[in-house]
Amino acid sequence: MSIEVRGISKQFGTHAALDGVSILVEPGEFVALLGPSGSGKTSLLRIIAGLEQPDAGSVHFHGEDATARDAKDRKVGFVFQHYALFGRMTVFENVAFGMRVKPRANRPPESEIRRKVEELLHLVQLDWMQDRLPSELSGGQRQRVALARALAVEPRVLLLDEPFGSLDAKVRRELRSWLRRLHDEIHLTSLFVTHDQEEALQMADRVVLLHEGRIEQIGTPDEIRSRPASYFVREFLEIS
Amino acid sequence: MSARPASPFARFALVSSALVLVALILVLPLISVFIEAFRGGVQAWFEAVSHPDAVAALKLTLWVAAIVVPVNVILGVVAGWALGKFEFPGRSLLITLIDLPFAVSPVVAGLLFILLFGRRGWFGPWLGDRGLEVIFAPTGIILATLFVTFPFVARELIPLMQSSGNEEEEAARVLGAGFFQTFFRVTLPNIKWALLYGIILCTARAVGEFGAVSVVSGHIRGQTNTLPLEVEILYNEYRTQAAFSVASLLACVALVALVVKALARKYSNERHRNDEKGVR
Ligand SMILES: Nc1ncnc2c1ncn2[C@@H]1O[C@H](COP(=O)(O)OP(=O)(O)OP(=O)(O)O)[C@@H](O)[C@H]1O
Ligand SMILES: [Mg+2]
């Protein structure tokens, strides 16, 4: 399933957080949204998820206009920068949440929910932690629970906001290659935010470079490395 | 004064004088209520509290609380949600306004309702023509109590809902939860102890409110007399023992409220500590 944004603009007060941003993420692609702090990465992700309305432009999934659709009906998986796990629910209940809130008609039976949650926790290598509270997990473990929770509703696309932002370098590297492998297994169209250029160039199929609400360059890591489109790109990527 | 570490003696003196003050100002009066109530024995106490006027006052008080508390819980949660989770122009003004019932004297609040709904008030004649009495009737008592107790729930919730932010709610929405599912599964569990705390304070005040209710009630015995008003009337009639007996009922409400309040505080604090340890 493709993700497409066309001419997205978003104003906060007098400040333009996004200014005419258009991106097409092909089905199954793994795209990094790279840019310095305040460049509008989170804002764009929130608009795609429906948590924020754009002032102009539209959001399309699989070519279908979803701009007017409510966040709860968009079927996107969203992994928040600070995990946003449900603090009062166990790991199991966190992952099961998306299935439990489905309308009765297509809510899976309890046995099915259990099977699915266990499968997902196995996928993120946390099966032995189902009964813990989020506060009893390490940062990297929370991150993986957040991912399992997002995947539990079988989203059509996956949005990740600095998924490794608050982790130390070693865990970061591990999770990075783990996430990339996971993506290669399940081929879920993914857009992930980072302000770490190394991370973006290493993991992504293509990189979108955002600067002050505008796109500086879109391209594969190789293209960007060998043909930076502007002085900013060169500077930001520290290409000599 | 600077914050020099106090000497052991100074600390002892401070702590013990604080304790003595608390005992004198808070505990002693409470104990004296019960001593006076049972001065004539259990029999006399029972006669006083089972007197038809006292029973009618108790019933009215419970009725008022049973209406006021749920209404204020709903209003308080809505206000707490709107003010705690969203930014909009006029927000801080609204937060200030929520405290208005605390800032004005209850008597003034009562007079305000007379001004609105009294015989010569703004809406009184119109309502009177339709056979609706507000002043000197239970309706007025309920309205006045609603006004006076409104801030309790909202004030507890606003800071909490503000500090817990919107993240969990947004996560729930993206996962497909509707408005009510989000509220009952995510928001409510996070605020339940503070909510309980607010409910307790609201209930205690609704049961014990004197000033505002006194103005709008009309003191009709057996009809518009709440427990606090009944106590006052009895006392003014020099029926001290009966007055204290009825007052002992109010004191019991206060004691129960205190215990539940302490528990709620404890649990909500624990929750806060857990939050700081992690989760976000
Ligand atoms: N709710 C909001 N109200 C006002 N301004 C906002 C709001 N959200 C974002 N902004 C502003 O929009 C701009 C883009 O913010 P955004 O959060 O999208 O940046 P970001 O690229 O995700 O940055 P970071 O890497 O620091 O997370 C910033 O200047 C920010 O101050
Ligand atoms: Mg961000």
Q: Does B189 touch chain A (CB under 8 A)?
A: yes
* A218: helix, strand or coil: strand
* Cβ separation B176–A101 shorter than 8 A: yes
Inform me whether the pLDDT recorded for B201 exceeds 60.
yes
How far does the centroid of ligand 2 lie from the alpha carbon of residue A194, in Å?
8
Q: Residue A83 is inside which H or E element, if any? A: none
Instruction: Give residue A156's pLDDT.
Output: 87
Cβ neighbours of A73 in B, within 8 Å: 176
Instruction: Give residue B25's pLDDT.
Output: 87
pLDDT tens digit sequence for A80-89: 988 899 999 9
pLDDT band for position B176 (cuts 50, 70, 90): very high
A84, A98, A133 ranked by CB distance to B170: nearest:
A84
Inter-helix orientation angle B138-149/B52-85, to 10°: 40
Instruction: Give residue B273's pLDDT.
Output: 52
* Cβ separation B167–A84 shorter than 8 A: yes
pLDDT tens digit sequence for A187-199: 889 999 988 888 8
pLDDT band for position B3 (cuts 50, 70, 90): low
pLDDT tens digit sequence for A206-230: 999 999 999 999 999 999 989 888 8
Give B 126-185 residues with CB within 8 A of chain A.
Answer: 167-168, 170-178, 181, 185
Rounded distance between C-alpha atoms, residue B103 and residue B101, angstroms: 5
Q: Mean pLDDT score of chain B, rounded to an integer?
A: 85
Rounded distance between C-alpha atoms, residue B176 and residue A73, angstroms: 6
B178, B189, B280 ranked by CB distance to A72: nearest:
B178
How far does the centroid of ligand 2 lie from the alpha carbon of residue A161, in Å?
7
Residue with the smallest CA separation from ligand 1 atom 11 is: A17
Helices marked H in chain B = 8-22, 28-37, 41-49, 52-85, 91-98, 100-103, 106-117, 124-129, 138-149, 151-164, 167-174, 179-182, 188-208, 211-217, 227-236, 240-277
Give A 51-70 residues with CB within 8 A of chain B.
Answer: 51, 70
Q: What domains are there in chain B, each with its CATH number?
A: 42-279 (1.10.3720.10)
pLDDT tens digit sequence for A144-176: 899 999 999 889 899 999 888 767 777 788 888
* Cβ separation A73–B176 shorter than 8 A: yes
Rounded average pLDDT over B241-259 = 89
Rounded average pLDDT over A124-134 = 88
Instruction: Give residue B6's pLDDT.
Output: 67
Instruction: Give residue B268's pLDDT.
Output: 67
User: Which of B87, B168, B175 is the best residue to mutate to test the A interface, defined by the most A CB atoms within 10 Å of its own CB?
Assistant: B175
Q: What secondary structure does DSSP assign to B142-194, as a single string? A: HHHHHHHHTHHHHHHHHHHHHHH-SHHHHHHHHTT--HHHHIIIIIHHHHHHH
pLDDT tens digit sequence for A2-55: 999 999 999 998 889 999 999 999 999 999 999 999 999 999 999 999 999 999
What number is the ipTM of this complex?
0.90
pLDDT band for position B270 (cuts 50, 70, 90): low
A72, A83, A85 ranked by CB distance to B177: nearest:
A72
* A48: helix, strand or coil: helix
Q: Does A71 touch chain B (CB under 8 A)?
A: yes
What share of chain A has pLDDT > 70, as a percent? 99
